[in-house]
Amino acid sequence: MKRLYDPKHPEVVRINPKQQVPVLIHGDLDIFDSTQIFEYLEDLKPDPALWPAGIGDRSRARLLEHKSDEVFFPYVIRLMGLQATPDDPVAIAARAEAARYYREMEELLADRAFLAGPYSFADIAFFMAQLFGARIGAPMTEVTPRLRQWRDWMTARPAVRRVVGPMAAYIVAQGRPLPDFLSTLAPPGSTFFG
């Protein structure tokens, strides 16, 4: 198995045979995979619903969540191993694919504020994926203004801030800059790029 980073957290190794994050430990429940975690959280706290009503819209939202993980995020993972060689043709191709994916999301936002209609797990999944994309050299640009507006709305949401705020603090504590769209939740002394 290709190891992208080491050491792996012992709980990740114990819970996930694929040895990947995220994992969730809640009481006596141990689960892995972000989609499984979303499904559990929806059962645990059905109100407010984070999958849309109606089987068509739900299915579209689930597909978008899946695509964030399995279509967009692999471009980000490819770039992780190529930080020192950004001109590698594989890195150039991965950035081009990410840009193409951003344009696809931009089209979706032509008639709605959130990716699947109402705010949903599809937005949460892609917000986190694009955050890693921005940090790895594949940020969205002015070519996708609706998506950038979506990103600002997402960044302003209290629940998003509660999760991403500590992440931003950790990144800054490691001496690293933050993508500029996180400036409103950056701790003092932060530096930015983007």
Ligand X SMILES: N[C@@H](CCC(=O)N[C@@H](CS)C(=O)NCC(=O)O)C(=O)O
Please give the residue ranges that form the binding site for ligand X (CB under 6 A): 3-4, 19-22, 33-35, 69, 73, 77
> For ligand X, which is the closer residue by CB, 137 or 187?
137
Question: What six digits make up the tokens of 161?
Answer: 């801030």
Helical ranges in the chain per DSSP H: 10-15, 34-44, 55-67, 73-80, 89-108, 121-135, 145-156, 158-173
Rounded to a whole number of angstroms, the minimum distance from the CB of residue 174 to ligand X is 16
The residue of the chain with the least Cβ separation from ligand X equals 20
> For ligand X, which is the closer residue by CB, 3 or 189?
3
- Give, in order, the Cα–Cα distances in Å from 94 to each of 16, 146, 154, 155: 27, 22, 25, 25
Which residues, other chains included, contact 86 with Cβ-Cβ below 8 Å and sequence gap of 6+? 137
Which residues, other chains included, contact 22 with Cβ-Cβ below 8 Å and sequence gap of 6+? 32, 33, 34, 37
Rounded to a whole number of angstroms, the minimum distance from the CB of residue 67 to ligand X is 11
> For ligand X, which is the closer residue by CB, 46 or 74?
74
Nearest to 194 by CA among 133, 147, 150: 133
> For ligand X, which is the closer residue by CB, 37 or 146?
37
Rounded to a whole number of angstroms, the minimum distance from the CB of residue 129 to ligand X is 9
- Give, in order, the Cα–Cα distances in Å from 87 to each of 92, 93, 140, 193: 6, 10, 19, 19
Phi then psi dihedrals of residue 179, to 5 deg: -60, 140
> For ligand X, which is the closer residue by CB, 75 or 102?
75
Rounded to a whole number of angstroms, the minimum distance from the CB of residue 97 to ligand X is 16
Rounded to a whole number of angstroms, the minimum distance from the CB of residue 145 to ligand X is 28
Rounded to a whole number of angstroms, the minimum distance from the CB of residue 77 to ligand X is 6
> For ligand X, which is the closer residue by CB, 29 or 53?
29
CA dist., res. 33 & res. 148, Å (int)? 27
